């Protein structure tokens, strides 16, 4: 069953079941039918339909019992590594001061010929290779980023870089450190309700471009990276996305932001001698501003609640998950959330020490390393959560493979 903040899968092992209504339509775009086949009306072309059929004949009911699963992942990081000792040469800090407060020891930063789009393409290619899916079989590319290299978005350039000859839809999702989780849920919606089969979800950010490198409170935290997963359609019995929970709170924007700023332009006067507001002033974004204490309190309060909500929607509890995969923001946050959820440290995935906070890339980057190292295996259940600027936060309970 689906609702505005999550959905159930009939294949998920259930701790407790609720009585569901026989028919329901929800804001998520999913439909649920009890005791009969679950179906949704869809006006797009249907596989296997007669090419000569009229539009009215093609508008048949499509089964929505199909699910989605994660079958491939990949990641990429810039060549330049900046250590805490390197930062100590430009700001008043030390390796001990940074590592004790954040858990971070190194981060990667774009330099030279590196580009965010290039990293995203590399990560996506690795995900497709693992999934054994040809670029021409990709139906949709979702680029989760707050730092695109073009005002109008970077996703189409990734589609171009992959060499997708069928020109699949590609668009950006902007939700800062929560972006990848939103991308996963969006992929599920497209697959379950739109008939898509192979969706690339990419998390990539280059926050180093918006860091004040003289502010030791923020410059020590961020790094650049890209991570990707291939989400593929499957039968409902194989569904691998069990539940989710998503939120935002614009009131919290004051605690974490990089606002638009305008440059002064030559002032023009009208015939009465007053200043005109035209032409508009050119604008750019300021450096990241963050109230660390408030962001910490927000994360340790909201993230456990969101994960518990997603688990409840999936009919699971914390004891049913194999891994806790959080946005890699700060080791203290990871530890506090794990403690509140009663998840032991050995079941928490973390690569924060090596890469710092890579925003939307952090979850797929950590997932890719855990999969390729053999830590995460097919069939493992993962509770993932992103949280950050907006403020936005969200969680998803999923199965790998």
Catalytic amino acids? 177, 327, 357
d(CA 82, CA 106): 6
Distance, in Å, from the CA atom of 377 to the CA atom of 88, rounded to the nearest integer, reads 39
Q: Is 177 helix (H, G, I), strand (E, B) or coil?
A: helix
SS3 label, residue 337: helix
- Tokens representing residue 282 in the block: 């050119």
Q: For residues 173 and 366, what is the distance between their CA atoms, to the nearest angstrom? A: 20
**Whole-angstrom distance, CA of residue 40 vs CA of residue 20:** 18
Spatial separation of the C-alpha atoms in residues 397 and 51, rounded to whole Å: 39
Read off the tokens for 380. 């493992």
Q: Which of 234, 229, 239 is nearest to 71 (CA)?
A: 229
Strands (E), 145-197: 169-173
Give the single-character DSSP code of 357: B
């Amino acid at each position: 069953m689906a609702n505005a903040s999550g959905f159930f899968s009939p294949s998920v092992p259930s701790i407790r079941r609720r009585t569901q209504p026989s028919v329901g339509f929800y804001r998520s775009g999913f439909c649920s039918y009890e005791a009969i086949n679950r179906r949704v009306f869809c006006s797009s072309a249907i596989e296997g339909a007669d090419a000569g059929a009229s539009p009215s004949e093609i508008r048949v009911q499509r089964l929505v019992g199909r699910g989605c699963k994660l079958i491939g992942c990949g990641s990429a990081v810039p060549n330049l590594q900046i250590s805490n000792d390197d930062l100590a040469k430009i700001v008043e800090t030390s390796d001990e001061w940074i590592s004790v407060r954040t858990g971070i020891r190194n981060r990667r930063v774009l330099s030279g010929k590196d580009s965010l789009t290039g990293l995203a393409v590399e990560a996506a290619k690795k995900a497709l290779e693992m999934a054994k899916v040809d670029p021409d079989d990709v139906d949709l590319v979702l680029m989760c980023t707050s730092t695109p290299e073009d005002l109008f978005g970077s996703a189409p350039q990734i589609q171009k870089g992959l060499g997708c000859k069928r020109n699949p839809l590609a668009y950006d999702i902007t939700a800062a450190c929560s972006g990848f989780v939103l991308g996963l849920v969006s992929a599920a919606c497209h697959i379950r309700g739109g008939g898509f089969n192979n969706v690339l979800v990419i998390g990539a950010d280059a926050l180093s471009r918006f860091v004040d490198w003289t502010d030791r409170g923020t410059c020590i935290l961020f790094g650049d990276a890209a991570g990707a997963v291939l989400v593929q359609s499957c039968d409902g019995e194989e569904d691998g996305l069990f539940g989710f929970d998503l939120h935002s709170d614009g009131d919290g924007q004051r605690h974490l932001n990089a606002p638009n700023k305008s440059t002064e332009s030559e002032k023009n006067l009208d015939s009465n001698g007053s200043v005109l507001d035209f032409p508009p002033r050119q604008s750019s974004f300021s450096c990241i501003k963050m109230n660390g204490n408030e962001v910490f309190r927000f994360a340790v309060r909201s993230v456990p609640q969101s994960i518990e909500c997603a688990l409840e929607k999936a009919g699971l509890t914390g004891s049913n998950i194999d891994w806790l995969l959080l946005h890699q923001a700060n080791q203290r946050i990871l530890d506090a959330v794990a403690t509140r959820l009663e998840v032991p440290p050995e079941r928490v995935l973390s690569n924060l020490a090596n890469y710092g906070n890579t925003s939307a890339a952090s979850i797929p980057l950590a997932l890719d390393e855990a999969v390729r190292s053999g830590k995460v295996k097919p069939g493992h259940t993962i509770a993932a959560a992103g949280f950050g600027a907006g403020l936005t936060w969200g969680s998803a309970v999923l199965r790998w493979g």
